[in-house]
Every structure is written in structure tokens, then in C-alpha cells.
Amino acid sequence: MISLIAQVIDKVITILIFAILIRAFLSFLPQIKSNKLILLLYDVTDPLLKPFRRFQIGRAMLIDFSPIIAIIVLSLIQIWIVRPFF
């Protein structure tokens, strides 16, 4: 039972990582933001990225490192907490 829950959590984390990657790539295409599917993607990933936006290196920098930090944190959770239950 715990193995099944761990597998589901593992898959959800993997989907979230891919969603963050897709959002990062789509940030280079600002005109596409009006699509309903893209808006759904932003609604799903915004709560994950907001906590990491506080850790901006410099306010004047144009690069948002929050997707990278979020992916690292999700990957560490996946490796250290979820995968041992398989």
C-alpha cells in the first residue's frame, strides 16, 4: 500500500517537473500566454515557483532562477523521500 502511494507521488512529482520545464521554455514565447492550456499550466506551476522567487540573486537580473531551484527541490524530495519506499 505504501509502495503504491509512493509510486503515485513519484509520478506526480515527475509531471510537475515536466510542467515547470515546459513553462520555462514557453516563457520565451510571451504571445502564447492567452491560450487556456497555457493558463492552466501557469495556474499549476505558480504555487510551486512563488516561494523560490524570493531568492532572486539581484533585482535587476532578467533571469528567473525559480524554475531551476524548484526542479532541484522536487528532485531531491523524489530521490530522498519518495524513492526509498519503492
Q: Where are the domains of the chain?
A: 2-85
Tell me what the mean pLDDT of segment 17-36 comes to.
Answer: 90
pLDDT of res. 15: 98
pLDDT tens, position by position, 35-82: 899 999 999 999 999 999 887 766 666 788 899 999 999 999 999 999
Find how far residue 84's CA is from the centre of its chain: 22
Using alpha carbons only, give the angle 80, 81, 83 rounded to the nearest 5 degrees.
Answer: 80
pLDDT of res. 2: 86
**Amino acid at position 86, single letter:** F
pLDDT of res. 60: 63
Residue 78: CB atoms within 10 Å: 18
For helices 66-77 and 2-26, the axis angle rounded to 10 degrees is 170
pTM for this prediction = 0.87
